[in-house]
Amino acid sequence: MLTCKEWLVCPLSEEKYMNQTSLPFEFHENPEPVAGGGLLDRRLFLRQGLALGSLTFISQGVLASEFDRPAWVLKPGHPFTNYGQPSPNEKEAIRWISSNPAVPGNGISWTPLHMLAGTVTPSGLHFERHHNGVPQIDPNQHRLLIHGLVNNPIFLEMDKLVRYPMVSRFRFIECGGNSNVGWHDEPTQATAGNLHGLVSCSEWTGVPLSIVLEEAALQPSARWLIAEGADAAAMNVSIPIEKALDDAILAIYQNGERIRPENGYPLRLLLPGWEGVTNVKWLRRLEAADQPAMTRNETAKYTELQPDGSARQFTFIMEAKSLITHPSPGHRLQGPGLYQISGLAWSGRGKIKKVEISADGGKSWAEAELQEPVLSKSFTRFRIPWRWDGGKTVMKSRAVDESGYIQPEREKLILERGRNGYFHYNAQVAWGVDTEGRLNHVF
């Protein structure tokens, strides 16, 4: 549920952005909206931001003598530490944990997407899904076994694996169950992170799986790889050989440092763009087989009952999605004025091509600015300026990826998949704005 605290969001200084009459833009004072509800040209901030580079943002009229020196200027600071921590003033930017009290190692934690900016998820805030706790693995004893339908079975220690050539990729990981409250009848009221934060984006570094598989020499009948983790759940899933040979990575580093224990230390399988469960953590075994193993997580779980009674199975790709993170539920707009709408888009099929925003409940749309670089199967940050008139409205976003796939309306998704769903909810998300500047989740 909504945390009691509200994060106040003040309108941007209109005069700083708008009234620079000496600036060479076609709009100075009141840029024309480009869509209903007060959406403005997506390049507004960019262009004026550039030209404003030389302007000072310190309020005029403050005298140096009134500018008291704060306490921390008057005495030496703290000594430094071996490993940095976030500022103690940022205690609210934490993961929200939901675990089974009977089995505390089984549960999830959400990334606080509504508290973060940019595109990289700090490692300590990467979402988590554990089936049986976080194993404490001694990397010197950890081994990866590659066996089954291979001509050269391989037994790899970590110190051998790190001698293979590596690659680095910014890639998101999203649980197939992310956003599943979207299937409910009524919109759940919670923050954007607590509704949609089973997705995170890191820079992963490791060895392309194809290199190691080449060494193992797959037999022609090998069509699947059964991947197994070294946790007490011994979680395992079946992966088509095509994906393993395409862009799968034996990931060793996350955002520059060794993967965090929670995210698979010392070795995890990364299958870019594919549902979280296939990204096996604490990877210890890859068995080449001619058919899938039909494990729990590809039969009882992570399958989807369709309206006609059949089940979708092996629905690996996470389809395009977008989410307005700012402003979002929990944030409170402080009166009418100019705001920046910002959020994240991602697609398991490749790059995000376009994100459109509506500030009038879907009647009209305007294209948001995409922050460079736009990377494949990675978070893309979008932004658009918006002048809120103080009235009640609904804002939404929709993503289009490079395959041409358009993030569906909720009604369309439900029409296609029925109401028995739990996984793969990727419909457009709508936030209602009330006249008090509060945001809430609406369908």
Ligand X SMILES: Nc1nc2c(c(=O)[nH]1)N[C@H]1C(S)=C(S)[C@@H](COP(=O)(O)O)O[C@H]1N2
* Part of the chain binding Mo ion (CB under 5 A), chosen from 148-156, 225-233, 260-268, 277-285: 277-285
Partner from ligand X, Mo ion, none contacting 127, C-beta within 5 to 8 A by type: ligand X
Q: How many residues does the chain have?
A: 443
Considering the complex, what minimum distance in angstroms separates the CB of residue 424 from Mo ion? 11
- If the CB atoms of residues 276 and 343 are measured against ligand X, the closer one turns out to be 276
DSSP secondary structure code for residue 180 in this structure: G
User: What minimum distance in Å lies between the beta carbon of 129 and ligand X?
Assistant: 4
In this structure, the number of other CB atoms found within 10 A of the CB of residue 193 comes to 27
Q: What is the SS3 assignment for 314?
A: coil
Please tell me the distance from the alpha carbon of residue 89 to that of residue 5, in angstroms, as a whole number: 15
Closer to Mo ion at the Cβ: 295 or 342?
295
Stretch that binds Mo ion, among 80-88, 128-136, 345-353, 408-416 (CB under 5 A): 128-136
Helix residue spans in 1-86 (DSSP H)? 14-18, 44-51
Q: CB 281 → ligand X: shortest distance, Å?
A: 4
Using an 8 Å Cβ cutoff, are 302 and 421 in contact?
no
CA angle at 327 for the pair 331 and 411, rounded to the nearest 5°: 115
**What SS3 state is found at 334?**
coil
Q: Which residues lie near ligand X (CB under 6 A)?
A: 126-131, 173, 175, 229, 231, 233, 235, 262-264, 276-277, 279-282
For residue 280, state whether it binds Mo ion (rule: CB under 5 A).
no
d(CA 130, CA 123): 16
Using CB positions, name the residue nearest to Mo ion. Answer: 175
By the rule CB under 5 A, 129 interacts with Mo ion: yes
Please report how close the Cβ of residue 227 comes to ligand X at its closest, in angstroms.
9
> Of 279 and 328, which has the nearer Cβ to ligand X?
279
Q: How far is the CB of 345 from Mo ion (least distance, A)?
A: 20
Query: How many whole angstroms separate alpha carbon 363 and alpha carbon 418?
Result: 25
The Cβ-side half-sphere exposure at 338, using a 13 Å CA radius, reads: 20
- Residue 229 interface partner, choices Mo ion, ligand X, none, CB cut-off 5-8 Å depending on type: ligand X
Residues 377 and 343: beta-carbon distance below 8 Å:
no
State the Cα–Cα distance between residues 93 and 111, nearest whole angstrom. 9
Within positions 217 to 276, which residues make up the interface with Mo ion, using CB under 5 A? 276
Nearest residue to the partner ligand X, using Cβ: 229
Judged by beta carbon distances under 5 to 8 A according to partner kind, the member of ligand X, Mo ion, none in contact with residue 280 is: ligand X
β-pairing, 7-9 vs 331-333, is: parallel
Q: What is the largest CA-CA distance in the chain?
A: 80
| Nearer of residues 156 and 368 to ligand X, judged by Cβ | 156
Q: Is 116 in the site for Mo ion (CB under 5 A)?
A: no
The answer to the question of residue 348 lying near Mo ion (CB under 5 A) is no
From Mo ion, ligand X, none, which one binds at residue 281 (CB under 5 to 8 Å depending on kind)?
A: ligand X
Give the residues lining the site for Mo ion (CB under 5 A). Answer: 129, 175, 276-277
